[in-house]
Amino acid sequence: MARSSVMLVPVRLLATTRRSLCSRAPSRSETCARHVQRLTNRFVAFALAMGFAAPLTAWRYSQNAPPAHHVIGQSFRDCRTYCPEMVILPPGKFTIGSPMNEVGRGTDENPQKVVTIAYALAVGKYPVTRTEFAAFVEDTGWKLGPCEHWDGRSFRIERGVYWSNALHQTSWHPVVCVNWDDSQAYVQWLSRKTGKYYRLLSESEWEYAARAETTTAWYWGNNEADQCRYANGADLSAKAQGVSPAGAVSCNDKYPHTSPVGSFRPNKFGLYDMAGNVGEWVEDCYQDTYRDAPTDGSAVESCMPKFHNARVMRGGAWNAIPAWLRSASRDVEIPSTRADSFGLRVARTD
């Protein structure tokens, strides 16, 4: 049997298994897709360990990647009017978490572990914008509740403030005031509209995307003085308007609140605003250690009552000091909370 025919056997078997699993679901539901992806990741991890790296990576790419005419590093949209622009990241390995000597690190950023992203991953080039999110609200009538406002000292509910009128934003600003449930509703709607599988990034996928093959504290290096060229954080302009917590960076990025997406330099994967602007919900339930965290790019799906079933948010925001903008920094939030520094970014794997 020719080599290509040999490889087609497991491909057909797995394709059949995939169809079988999904056929038992009432629709091509998110739950089914997640389940299939988890099984596939395990299969690939096993096969990689057995030495079938090259053919399986190619197979995994063909199963999970966006259409074949898209290539790694390039961007695409699945529709012209409201679909987020996506960048295809290469498969690879990285170390999640921070070294013990990293300044400003949290105690939940260890133990450091090698994570393998054995598949091509399409990630939003920017956080989801107001225009993109508005298309979802208009189409579905989804209702979002009131929003907490950061006043420089604390978050508190502002009467009459919602995602649609917070922070004097324009259409190219990242949407804010979305909670984890709103984010899930958005990606499920986007999946239905496009026929593709959109979802939130897992926490490890997010850090892989943010680091972009760097191991430094920030994706621009280890110098916080460079922050204002790469990220919209708590800066001198935020300090001047009284919306900065203590510890703002000593440079001026000119945006006391959110900035239009893409206003700062991208990381090496061509992704913008992976630090600052808005915090980005990820899929994972929060655990205060990486001890039991998966190493195949999948998410932690078991939420813990002792952490109030909190989910993880990544990237810091316009009100974040340099330590919170580090690639390894983790934020913990209650899934029902909406705040004017909370946003989202999407991923697509098939």
Inter-residue contact 231 to 275 (CB < 8 Å): yes
Q: Does 324 engage in binding with Ca ion (CB under 5 A)?
A: no
Which of 25/236 has CB closer to Ca ion? 236
Cβ distance to Ca ion smaller for residue 253 or 283: 253
Least separation, in Å, of the C-beta of 98 and Ca ion? Answer: 23
CB-wise, 63 or 341, nearer to Ca ion?
341
Contact segment (CB under 5 A) with Ca ion among 143-151, 154-162, 169-177, 248-256 equals 248-256
Q: Report the C-alpha gap between 95 and 111 in whole angstroms.
A: 10
Residues 211 and 92: their CA atoms lie apart, in Å, by 12
Strand partners, 333: 311
Whole-number minimum distance, CB 133 to Ca ion, in Å?
21
Closer of 60 and 239 to Ca ion (Cβ): 239
Buried b (16+ CB within 10 A) or exposed e, 270-301: ebbbbbbbbbbbbbbbbbeebeebbbbbbbbe
Tokens of 46: 């096993």
Instruction: Identify which of residues 148 and 235 has a Cβ nearer to Ca ion in the complex.
Output: 235
Burial 179-207 (b: 16+ CB within 10 A, else e): bbebbbbbbbbbbebeebbbbbbbbbbbb
Amino acid identity at 200: L
- In whole angstroms, what is the distance from residue 259 CA to residue 272 CA? 12
Of the CA atoms within 13 Å of residue 172, those in its CB half-sphere come to 7
State the nearest-atom distance from the C-beta of 319 to Ca ion, in Å.
Answer: 8
Binders in 95-124 for Ca ion, by CB under 5 A: none
Of 27, 33, 18, the C-alpha closest to 199 is 33
**Measured from the CB atom, is 142 or 155 closer to Ca ion?**
155
Structure tokens at 228: 């204002």
* Overall size of the chain counted in residues: 350
Q: Residue 190 CB, nearest distance to Ca ion (Å)?
A: 29
Give how many residues touch Ca ion by CB under 5 A. Answer: 5
Q: Does 224 bind Ca ion (CB under 5 A)?
A: no
Mapping DSSP to helix (H, G, I), strand (E, B) and coil, where does residue 244 land? coil
In the complex with Ca ion, the residue whose CB is nearer, 132 or 253, is 253
Stretch that binds Ca ion, among 122-130, 201-209, 214-222, 249-257 (CB under 5 A): 249-257
Q: Cis before residue 111, ω within 30 degrees of 0?
A: yes
Least distance from C-beta 324 to Ca ion, angstroms?
13
Q: Does 235 bind Ca ion (CB under 5 A)?
A: yes
Shortest gap between Cβ of 183 and Ca ion (angstroms)? 23
Residue labelled with tokens 């943010």: 210
State the Cα–Cα distance between residues 132 and 163, nearest whole angstrom. Answer: 13
Say if CB 174 and CB 277 are below 8 A apart.
yes
CB of 236 to Ca ion, least distance (A): 8
Alpha carbon separation from 231 to 11, 86, 88, 212, 257 (Å, rounded) = 43, 20, 22, 15, 12
Q: Is 255 an interacting residue with respect to Ca ion (CB under 5 A)?
A: yes
- From 64-72, 158-166, 253-261, 265-273, give the range in contact with Ca ion by CB under 5 A: 253-261
Contact letters for Ca ion, residues 60-99 (x by CB under 5 A): ----------------------------------------
Instruction: Tell me if 73 sits within 8 A of 87, measured CB to CB.
Output: yes
Between 118 and 274, CB nearer to Ca ion: 274
Minimum distance of Ca ion from residue 243's CB (angstroms) = 9
Residue 227 three-state SS: helix
Q: Which is nearer to Ca ion, 143 or 168 (CB)?
A: 168
Q: Given the rule CB under 5 A, which of 15-23, 236-244, 293-301, 333-341 is the region that contacts Ca ion?
A: 236-244
> With binding defined as CB under 5 A, does residue 253 bind Ca ion?
yes
What the block records as the tokens of 152 is: 């420089």
Q: Binding of Ca ion at residue 232 (CB under 5 A)?
A: yes
Which residues are near Ca ion by CB under 5 A?
232, 235, 238, 253, 255
